[in-house]
Copies of this chain bind each other. A is one copy, B any other.
Amino acid sequence: MSFRVLSRDGFARRGRYETPHGTVETPVFMNVATQAAIKGGLSSLDLKAAGCQAALCNTYHLHLRPGEDTVAKLGGLHRFMCWDGPVLTDSGGFQVFSLAQRRKITEEGVSFSSHIDGRRVLLSPEGAVDIQTKLGADIIMALDECVENPAPYEYVKQSAGRTARWLARCKERWTEKPAASTLWGINQGGVYDDLRIDHMRRIAELDLPGYAVGGLAVGEETAVMYHILDILEEHMPPDKPRYLMGVGTPENIIEAAARGLDFFDCVIPARNGRHGHLYTWRGRVNILNERYKEDGAPLDEACGCPLCQNHSRAYLRHLFKAGEVLALRLGVLHNLYFYNSLTARIRSEIEKGTFQTFRKQYAGVLDRKIQL
């Protein structure tokens, strides 16, 4: 796999990442398929229609159910979920800390009880690599501890140190058994500049094929998140892809791209879609509003997604009010299409050298609530 920065606009980068399952044009939004399926009932055909370039699955969930051995026997994640494009698997660190019960962190790894059946599980750095290698993802993530912000300085320092040591062990395991999967490391350090920079420098030395920033959008103010990205920029390897994990709103993504980030993922578009909160280039619409009851127009005339191409605002509102599952699907499909269009637009603006103008034009616009 290889990454090339094709052009720059300020710190923003227009790049290209080659994987065994095709090329990813960056900045890119990876569509979240936690359990090897997109929430809301989208199939892999819908993902194509949504303009999806890459899917993201979750190690924690897939390890617990159906298990990496099952997925491997069935030909790996791509074949299992019928998606022939690139797949990244999250290490599961975040889910261990948000979903699992009775977790215990030691130098060895993290042990916890499954949220499904209470079964006791140990996830070690080596285990995370092994699981993801079996799953057959194109990009696999190192095991990290994701600490909620703000956390005490001393705890974050200690935790970031452990995450760095875990990363070295991940690399060792990954190097031992050459596979098609490529390993990326994750920066931690909470909201503390020195810890973030120190950690970034330390993990950059491992010369991994890609780097992520984790532990953001977990409790801190947006300005703090942007500040951390600002100070990290010069310390992230310039020739490697940079992935901001689990972020964020459309404006967050523009602002992070402006700070040199290339890869994104987030549950926000799918979650909002399932609640009828739909993105447009003018802002976010609540389609359940009474005003759309007899509104025969598409949500967004200019949108090329299957919802806007076929259905009216009134029909979508009816589906939500009537509790029809199709409402969820169309809502998610539209929002993923919007996010994929947003990153396509960012790419095009960087190419044209007009990204800074674009960024100013949409500041305060895309995240606001509007009525049509």
Contacts and interface: CB of A to CB of B under 8 A. Distances in A.
Interface stretch (A40-48, A133-141, A145-153): A40-48
Contact of A35 (B74, B82, B293, B324): B324
6 contacts: A43-B306, A44-B310, A73-B296, A74-B294, A81-B315, A82-B315
A202 to B, nearest CB: 37
Residue of A42, A43, A61 contacting most chain B CB atoms (<10 Å): A43
Contact of A80 (B36, B73, B312): B312
Interface string A98-117: 00000000000000000000
Contact of A326 (B37, B65, B66, B324): B37
A74 B312 CA distance: 9
Interface in A58-74: 61, 65-66, 70, 73-74
Contacts of A61: 322
A40 to B, nearest CB: 6
A321 interface: yes
Residue of A40, A73, A81, A324 contacting most chain B CB atoms (<10 Å): A324
A345 interface: no
A318 B43 contact: no
Given A41-B41, A80-B314, 20 more contacts: A35-B322, A37-B326, A38-B326, A39-B324, A40-B41, A43-B310, A43-B326, A43-B329, A44-B310, A45-B306, A65-B322, A66-B318, A66-B321, A70-B314, A74-B312, A74-B314, A74-B315, A80-B312, A325-B328, A325-B329
Contacts of A329: 41, 43, 325, 329
Interface in A313-336: 314-315, 318-319, 321-322, 324-326, 328-330
Contact of A293 (B66, B80, B322, B325): B66
A299 to B, nearest CB: 14
Contact of A322 (B37, B42, B80): B37
Contacts of A293: 66, 70
Interface of A: 35-45, 61, 65-66, 70, 73-75, 80-82, 293-294, 296, 306, 310-312, 314-315, 318-319, 321-322, 324-326, 328-330
Contacts of A35: 318, 322, 324
A47 to B, nearest CB: 11
Nearest to A40: B325
A313 to B, nearest CB: 10
A196 to B, nearest CB: 35
A290 to B, nearest CB: 11
A293 to B, nearest CB: 6
A100 to B, nearest CB: 16
Nearest to A49: B45
A73 B315 CA distance: 12
Nearest to A333: B43
A325 B324 CA distance: 11
A324 B80 contact: no
Nearest to A323: B35
Contacts of A74: 294, 296, 312, 314-315
